[in-house]
Amino acid sequence: MDIELWKRISGFVDLNSYPELPCPYCNKYALKLDKDSVQTRPVNKDSLLITSRKYRFEKERKQILIDKSREVSNKSEGFFIPLLLTFASAHAEAVEPTNGNTFIFNSFFECANCQQSISASGMLLEHQTGMSQSSSKAKKIKIENFSPSIFIFPISKNVPSHIAEELLDAFKHFHFDPPSSASKLRRAIENFCKDMQVEENNNNLGRMIKNLEKTHPEEAKYLDALRLIGNEGTHGSNVAELDLLYAFQVFQFVLELYDRNARYNELNHVYDKLAKKYEKKKQQLPKLEQLDNVK
């Protein structure tokens, strides 16, 4: 899982340097934005402040930085240093994307490997690259919806569908609503515990994970940490994208249990065939849980 990639596109990215993404059809990192397909419509900034979490967050964050710069300028002694700081602050405001023109946009990505396409939509910010109105425009985009959804990490075919579906929803919501994404991740964790046939305790995830310790102590340890992020998504609103990405990375490791089980079952089948062929006394292979406990 490439955390740096997803961290990068969680914010506004230069339209001309948008990175290649994993294709949902062939899983290759060959999905490229078709810049010629981008269509825009202007949107009111005040509306974006209400409807877009990312735009509101970036606007508030950049304003705090500008205010701090002004405060330093006002406290500085002399003539030239305050003048330079004032000029730098004015320039920063002029080139700041969130202070420029705002648009909603639609576009398409095409995979260079399998030639399949997906659609994408979100926000586009257009700002001046200099103080002069004649300066060329620069554009930054934040994609909030991919259709079909793209995988933040590949989901193995061995993962049960009721877990994979919740996880794919978590991937989808990550780009525009991190708390909802964390809540979906929590649902996926609940389904994992149920699939491990632990006692449900009225869907109390903390108790389910505690019961999971009896059979899968390592997985339970990791899931208990993820539970807190899921709780924040369900009952709060302060979920950072980077924390969520780390949670996905940990859950990816937990889900590898299904691949390990599949390899064990395949090995057991091969062992049965060999034992039968050579008519030796068959010894049952140790269970996967026993192998884990030896480590």
Share of the chain above pLDDT 90, in %: 53
Same domain assignment for residues 87 and 168:
no
Q: Which residue has the higher pLDDT, 36 or 72?
A: 36
Q: Are residues 133 and 17 in the same domain?
A: yes
Angle CA 82–88–93, to nearest 5? 125
Query: What is the predicted pLDDT for the residue at 293?
Result: 58
Pair (182, 68) in one structural domain: no
Return the pLDDT at 284.
60
Indicate whether 84 and 19 sit together in one domain: yes
pLDDT band at 135 (very low <50, low <70, confident <90, very high): very low
Residue 286 within a domain: no
Q: What mean pLDDT do residues 282-290 have?
A: 60
108 and 174 inside one domain: no
- The residues facing 21 across adjacent strands are 31
Please check the confidence at residue 273 and state whether its pLDDT lies above 90. Answer: no
Residue 292 lies in a domain: no
% of the chain surpassing 70 pLDDT: 76
Q: How confident is the model at residue 82 (pLDDT cuts 50, 70, 90)?
A: low
Residues 114 and 200 in one domain: no
User: Which region among 19-33, 159-173, 206-220 has the lowest average model confidence (pLDDT)?
Assistant: 206-220
Q: Which of 292, 155, 141 is nearest to 214 (CA)?
A: 292
Number of domains forming the structure of the chain: 2
Is residue 7 scored above 50 in pLDDT?
A: yes
Q: Which residue has the higher pLDDT, 67 or 163?
A: 163
For residue 4 the two structure tokens come to 């740096």
Structural domain ending residue among the three candidates 115, 147, 179 = 147
Q: Is residue 247 part of a domain?
A: yes
Q: Which long-range contacts (CB under 8 A, 24 or more apart) does 44-48 make?
A: 44/102, 45/102, 48/102, 48/123
Hey, what are 155's tokens?
């989901």
Final residue of a structural domain among 147, 181, 204: 147
The per-residue pLDDT of the chain, averaged, comes to 83
Q: Cα 107 from chain centroid? A: 20
Domain boundaries, position 27: 3-147
Q: Is the pLDDT of residue 134 over 50?
A: no
Phi-psi bin for 203: left (phi > 0), alpha (psi -120 to 50), beta? left
The C-alpha atoms of residue 121 and residue 227 are separated, in whole angstroms, by 31
Whether residue 143 is contained in a domain is answered as yes
- The answer as to whether 283 is a domain residue is no
Cα 207 from Cα 198, distance rounded (Å): 9
Which pLDDT band, with edges at 50, 70 and 90, does 49 fall under? confident
pLDDT of residue 118: 98
By C-alpha distance, which of 63, 38, 58, 34 is closest to 48?
58
In this structure, is residue 156 part of a structural domain? no
The answer to whether residue 55 is domain-embedded is yes
Q: Higher pLDDT residue, 230 or 223? A: 223
pLDDT of residue 174: 95
pLDDT of residue 132: 44
- 125 and 89 assigned to the same domain: yes
| C-alpha–C-alpha distance, residues 170 and 172, integer Å | 5
Cis preceding linkage at 148, omega within 30: yes
Residue 115 falls in which region: left (phi positive, over 0), alpha (psi -120 to 50) or beta: left
Contact 105, 38 (CB under 8 A): yes
**120 and 98 both lie in a single domain:** yes
User: Per mean pLDDT, which of 84-93, 168-177, 202-211 is the most reliable?
Assistant: 168-177
Strand runs (DSSP E) across 116-173, as ranges? 117-128, 137-147
Whether residues 94 and 182 fall in one domain: no
Please, which pLDDT band fits residue 202 given cuts at 50, 70 and 90?
low
7, 121: one domain? yes
pLDDT recorded at residue 240: 87
Secondary structure of residue 268 in the 3-state scheme: helix
Residues 6 or more apart from 155 whose CB is under 8 A from it?
164, 167, 168, 255
21 plus 96 within the same structural domain: yes
> Reduced to 3 states, what is the DSSP secondary structure of residue 76?
coil
Question: In b/e form, how buried is each residue of 222-248, taking b as 16+ CB within 10 angstroms?
Answer: bbbebbebbebbbeeeebebeebbbbb
**284, part of any domain:** no
Looking at the structure, do residues 111 and 167 belong to the same domain, yes or no? no
pLDDT value at position 194?
A: 92
Q: What is the pTM of this model?
A: 0.79
Cβ–Cβ contacts within 10 Å for residue 168, how many? Answer: 19
Q: At what angle do helices 241-277 and 178-195 cross, to 10 degrees?
A: 20
85 against 97, higher pLDDT: 97
pLDDT band at 56 (very low <50, low <70, confident <90, very high): confident
